[in-house]
């Protein structure tokens, strides 16, 4: 698909799109609490952060109200609603950008869609009861991510016989579940879930063989920004992983990723555009 219709806005997937991460949580792994003052979420600061990301090259802002880092504690539905909905509403009113909502909860999907969200980005791939129906009703594109286990236990010694085959089998199953709910292929994106129930070896294999997931003929989204796979190779703290993350973005784009989910938008957008230019010059660009 070339054009992905995201509510009232659209994305041209002939070009790689940059998704800026806006965590409205107090405990995300790299930027938790940045938007909280005196334990209260600052919607104004969230809008300022989103505005800067758009200026830096983000065409999508991914708003998340639940930390899904390894071992993260669960949040209540009301906490997630209170964090996400005011931010979605103000960004939708103030900025010309596609809003993605990083959620698994049907109530958040329903309400965010009504307030102007354009993409549902679900790390649980619509597996929570009611999520499939809510996503279908929203009419929005959905990103289905692979995760082995749950955020609470996903990094407890994950094992695969063949990580590519198992991720592919998972996508087959979730695509079928979506079809049964009336969600058509032109609304689906796939995310292999770097760092979600994978060892360093699994993550490197997924990145190296990302092009093998093109058999679904669906756009691929990758999220490697600041993740522990970079530390596994470079032994860097979370605030020192930019260069390693940029390398994974360049490789991902060369392997056919159409959306990159990142914390550092300006630098990532530069890498995307430079990598695209090289691919176009040598005739490897697939539109």
| Beta bridge partners of residue 110, listed in sequence order | none
What residues contact 202, with CB distance under 8 A and at least 6 apart? Answer: 158, 160, 163
User: Would you put residue 192 in left (φ > 0), alpha (ψ -120 to 50) or beta?
Assistant: alpha
Residue 5 lies in a domain: no
State residue 175's pLDDT score.
98
Q: CATH number of the domain that 115 lies in?
A: 3.20.20.20
> pLDDT at position 13, please?
97
- What integer pLDDT is reported at residue 117 of this predicted model? 98
Structure confidence at residue 37 (pLDDT): 55
For residue 163, is it within any domain? yes
Does residue 8 belong to any structural domain of this protein? no
Q: What is the pLDDT along the chain (287 residues), one digit of tens a residue?
A: 589 999 999 999 999 999 999 999 875 545 555 665 546 778 999 999 999 999 999 999 999 998 877 666 788 999 999 999 999 999 999 999 999 999 999 999 999 999 999 999 999 999 999 999 999 999 999 999 999 866 656 566 688 999 999 999 999 999 999 999 999 999 999 999 999 999 999 999 999 999 999 999 999 999 999 999 999 999 999 999 999 999 999 999 999 999 999 999 999 999 999 999 999 887 765 55
147 in any annotated domain: yes
Beta bridge partners of 36: 41
> Residue 169 and residue 122: Cα distance in Å, rounded?
18
Residue 109 counted as domain residue: yes
**Closest listed residue to residue 63, CA positions, set 33, 99, 104, 113:** 99
What is the span of the domain harbouring residue 88?
A: 16-279
Residues labelled catalytic: 227, 261
Record the pTM: 0.92
- The total number of structural domains that make up the chain: 1
The answer as to whether 285 is a domain residue is: no
75 assigned to some structural domain? yes
Structure tokens at 172: 């087959």
Q: Does residue 9 belong to any structural domain of this protein?
A: no
């Amino acid at each position: 698909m070339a054009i992905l219709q995201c509510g009232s806005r659209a994305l041209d997937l002939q070009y790689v799109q940059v998704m800026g991460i806006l965590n409205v949580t107090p405990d995300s792994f790299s930027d938790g609490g940045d938007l909280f003052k005196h334990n209260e979420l600052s919607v104004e600061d969230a809008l300022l952060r989103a505005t800067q990301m758009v200026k830096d090259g983000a065409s999508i802002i991914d708003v998340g109200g639940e930390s899904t880092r390894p071992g993260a504690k669960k949040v209540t539905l009301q906490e997630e609603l209170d964090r996400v909905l005011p931010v979605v509403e103000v960004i939708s009113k103030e900025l010309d950008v596609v809003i993605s909502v990083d959620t698994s909860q049907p109530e958040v999907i329903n309400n965010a869609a009504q307030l102007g969200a354009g993409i549902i980005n679900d790390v649980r791939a619509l597996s929570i009861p009611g999520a499939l129906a809510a996503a279908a009703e929203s009419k929005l594109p959905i990103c289905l991510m692979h995760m082995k286990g749950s955020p609470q236990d996903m990094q407890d010694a994950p094992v695969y016989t063949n990580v590519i085959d198992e991720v592919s089998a998972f996508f087959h199953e979730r695509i079928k579940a979506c079809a049964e709910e009336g969600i058509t292929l032109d609304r689906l994106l796939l995310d292999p879930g770097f760092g979600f129930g994978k060892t360093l070896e699994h993550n490197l294999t997924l990145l190296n063989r990302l092009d093998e997931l093109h058999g679904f003929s669906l756009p691929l989204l990758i999220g490697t920004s600041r993740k522990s796979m970079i530390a596994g190779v470079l032994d860097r703290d979370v605030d020192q992983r930019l260069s390693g993350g940029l390398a994974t973005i360049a490789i991902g784009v060369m392997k056919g990723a159409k959306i990159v989910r990142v914390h550092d938008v300006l630098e990532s957008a530069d890498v995307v555009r430079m990598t695209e230019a090289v691919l176009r010059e040598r005739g490897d660009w697939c539109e």
